[in-house]
Each structure stands twice: as C-alpha cells, then as structure tokens.
C-alpha cells in the first residue's frame, strides 16, 4: 500500500521506523533483531537506507596503491524484500544519486516493481567521506529532482531508451526529504523551499523531514509549506539524543540546533545513563506535541538500536 493511503486511512498518528541494511558480510538477523521489539506498535511501513559507495586503497606487492570502490552496506533491495516477506509490512527503500548510473537506477526500479514495493524515498545522498562535496557518478543523476523525474517518467511509462515498445507504467509513491532548519548547502531557507516546491510540482507524494529537536521548527516548516502551496503529507523524522557526545556531533553532522533547555539538561547529567533518560523524556514530550499539531506519522531513525524508540513510543501512547 502507498504511504499516502496508509495516512489517509489512519484514525490516529502512525509510527514508522528507518534502519540501515546489514554491513557486508553480516546476517539479516541483525535487522530482524532491531525490528522484532518494535512490531507490537504495528508500523505500516519501514524505511531502509541506501549509502553510497566509498573508496578503499588496496596495496599491491610492488607497494602501489589501487583505489577501489567499496559499498559497505550493499543490500537495501534485498533487505526490503526480507522485511516484507517476514513482517508483511511495506518496505520503503531509499534511492540515491551517488554511486549509480541512470541505467542502474532504472534497473533497480524495475526490480522494486517486480517485488511489489509501492514506495520509494528519493535522495541525492551524501558525499563520499573522502570528498569534500557531492560528486555525481558519471552517467548518473546529480540532483534529487533529477532522480525524482526519472521515477515520475517510469510512472508515466517513459523509460530511458526510446526504442522500447509497450512499456508498462510503474506506480511508485514517491517521497522526498525536507529540512525544517534548511539544507546545509542551500544559501537560505527561501531557496530551500523553492527546491522543495519544485520536487512536489514534479510529482513527489510525501515529505520526510530531517531530525529536529524543536517542535516549533517543524510547525513553522509545515506552515510555510502550506503557504507555498505544498499540501502533501509531511512526516517528521525523529531521533532521541542518547549520549553527551551528540551535543556536538549531531549539529556537526546533520546541521541542526539543539535547544538550550535540552543542552543544559544534558550538561547537568552525572552519567551517560542519565543523558539517555533526558533525551528519551525530551523526545516523548516532542512526540506528544507533534501529535497535538497533527503530525501524520512519527518516523524514528533507529540506527540499529530499538530500545530508545520502544521506550519513547511506550511513553507517548
């Protein structure tokens, strides 16, 4: 079922989860161990991320180094299939620009269609760790809007190669990312909204936000979207603060603000257990406030650790 239909049919705020596919060489059981404790909350869908390849350097006997592309977590599509088979819920794979040619993207979308996957979340993706900024793959898409257009084209029966006759239309429900505190590469919030509006006009069906810790910023983001003519569902992305190091690492990595009240509470903690409790309690209240203002789904970034998410949901409902 499409995410927009799950939301339309819901009588209360839904909960959903996002997780990482297994590291190469690891078992799918680790994914199941993350999902199992959360299934009692009846998530209608589960997201599976896609991380682009990076480079490793292989040393040869003659001492020369060879630059080799390496994808640490290569199994997004297979993980989605395993989740759907085991739990009978919708799996939402992320699609990214980096690391894929247009041909590879199209083939992946065909695989997803054959698997009965109804939803995709299209993203540009991050830069490689070894590069300072995003570098498109030769023959691939450079922007999320280009990738979005590719999916929309296939939904209209238009594939890359014009010589293909009698092409079947795909029917993906397409999500895109939104940034309540502005994408870090956008020159200003107004420009960021213009890009988001462009994606919705191209055919995006729902928005999932970057994590945030101030509900007022989500509300202002939603209000601005509505004022700009963006009327698709806007799903808040959520992750509790669980360690004191995250006071600096989360703003650095995700370009977000930590409210003063939360940072002071964390700094007053005597140990990391207290920090986790503070972060979870903050997120419980944040979720309650989100429900009050009509958030359609509470979407948790689990990062392979179900325990904080489980405690939060139990404290909310």
Contacts of 245 (CB under 8 A, 6+ apart): none
Contacts of 93 (CB under 8 A, 6+ apart): 47, 48, 50, 76, 77, 80, 112, 117, 120, 121
Q: What's the average model confidence in pLDDT over 125-140?
A: 82
Written as six digits, the tokens of 50 are 């896609």
Distance, in Å, from the CA atom of 71 to the CA atom of 146, rounded to the nearest integer, reads 23
Query: Mean pLDDT of all residues in the chain?
Result: 93
**What's the confidence (pLDDT) of residue 67?**
66
| Strand pairing report for 45-48 and 65-70 | unpaired
pTM across the whole model: 0.93
**What's the confidence (pLDDT) of residue 56?**
67
In the block, tokens 């498109």 appear at 136
In order of 60, 67, 119, 133, the CA distances from 57 in angstroms are: 10, 5, 36, 20
Distance, in Å, from the CA atom of 129 to the CA atom of 94, rounded to the nearest integer, reads 19
255: left (phi over 0), alpha (psi -120 to 50) or beta: left
**What's the confidence (pLDDT) of residue 54?**
65
| Res. 164 pLDDT band, cuts 50 70 90 | low
């Amino acid at each position: 079922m499409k995410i927009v239909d799950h939301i339309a049919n819901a009588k209360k705020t839904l909960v959903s989860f996002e997780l990482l596919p297994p590291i190469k060489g690891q078992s799918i059981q680790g994914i199941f161990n993350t999902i199992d404790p959360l299934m009692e909350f009846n998530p209608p869908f589960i997201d599976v991320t896609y991380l682009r390849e990076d480079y490793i350097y292989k040393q040869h006997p003659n001492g020369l180094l060879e630059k080799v592309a390496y994808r640490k977590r290569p199994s997004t599509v297979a993980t989605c299939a395993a989740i759907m088979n085991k739990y009978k819920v919708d799996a939402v794979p992320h699609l990214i620009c980096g690391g894929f040619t247009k041909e590879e993207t199209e083939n992946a979308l065909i695989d997803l269609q054959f698997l009965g996957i109804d939803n995709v979340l299209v993203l540009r993706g991050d830069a490689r760790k070894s590069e300072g900024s995003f570098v498109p793959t030769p023959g691939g898409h450079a922007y999320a809007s280009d990738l979005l257009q590719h999916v929309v084209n296939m939904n209209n029966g238009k594939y890359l190669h014009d010589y293909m006759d009698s092409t079947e239309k795909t029917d993906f429900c397409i999500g895109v990312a939104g940034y309540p505190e502005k994408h870090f590469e956008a020159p200003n919030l107004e420009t960021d909204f213009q890009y988001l509006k462009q994606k919705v006009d191209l055919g995006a069906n729902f928005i999932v936000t970057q994590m945030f810790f101030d509900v007022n910023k989500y509300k202002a983001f939603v209000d601005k979207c509505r004022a700009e003519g963006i009327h698709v569902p806007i799903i808040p992305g959520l992750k509790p603060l669980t360690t004191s190091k995250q006071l600096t690492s989360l703003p650095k990595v995700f370009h977000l603000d930590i409210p003063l009240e939360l940072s002071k509470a964390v700094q007053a903690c005597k140990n990391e257990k207290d920090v986790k409790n503070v972060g979870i309690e903050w997120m419980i209240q944040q979720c309650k406030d989100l429900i009050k203002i009509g958030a359609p789904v509470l979407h948790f970034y689990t990062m392979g650790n179900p325990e904080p998410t489980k405690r939060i949901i139990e404290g909310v409902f």
